[in-house]
Amino acid sequence: MRNLASGQLTTGAVDHGDSRPSAHRFLGQLTTDQLVTSSIMFKALIILSVLAVSAVQAQQTIQKQKLKFKLSAKGLSDKDDLGTSDPYVELFYTEGSSTKETKFGRSATLTDDENPTWGDVFEFDYDRSKGQRWHFKVYDHDNLREDDKVGNAWVQADDYVDKGQTYTANLIKQGFLTIQKA
C-alpha cells in the first residue's frame, strides 16, 4: 500500500478500528522507510544503553575490602656513611579528619639497597566511608645509632583503590614508593 500523503509504501496494515492496542495502530501507519529508520534507531539505543550500563558499572567502586599489597622503592637517598642504605618501611593510617596515626605494619630490613622491593605482604581493612589515609615512613637501619629517616609519603587509600591498586607516590626528601596489589 502507498501512504497517500507521502506516496511511500506502507506496511499494508488494515484499519482495525480501536480494537487493537495503540502500538499496533502506530506501527500499522508507519512507512517502510520509517520502519527501517526505527529499527536502526532501536539498535543504536540498545548499544547506547549497554555502553551506559558499562560506564555506570565502571564508576561503581569498591566500598569495603581487605586489601593486600607489596611495597617497592626507587632512588632512595644513601644515609649510611659506609655502604648504601638498609631500608625498611613503617606503615600507619588515619581516618577522616583525625591526625592520630595507627601503625599497621613494618617491612623487613633489606641490606645495601637503594631500590628495594620488599617481599612482605601487607593487609589493610579498607572502608571507603572512613576517609582512610596511609602514611609510609621509610628508614635506613643503623646498628650503632638511631635509624635515619629516608623519606615518607601520604596516600589516600581511595586513590590507591581507584587507580587499580597500583600507585606510585613521591617520597618527601628523595625517591619513589610503589604500592602494588599482592
* Rounded Cα distance, 94 and 148, in Å: 23
pLDDT of 93 over the 60 cut:
yes
Which amino acid, 176?
Answer: F
Cell of 54: 558499562
- In CATH terms, the fold of domain 64-181 is Immunoglobulin-like (2.60.40)
What pLDDT, in 10s, does the model give residues 144-159?
A: 889 999 999 999 999 9
CATH 2.60.40.150 residue window(s) in the chain: 64-181
Q: Is residue 169 a contact partner of residue 136, using CB atoms and an 8 Å limit?
A: yes
Listed in sequence order, the residues at least 6 apart from 19 whose beta carbon sits closer than 8 Å to its beta carbon are: none
Strand pairing of 148-156 and 132-140? antiparallel
How much is the pTM?
0.67
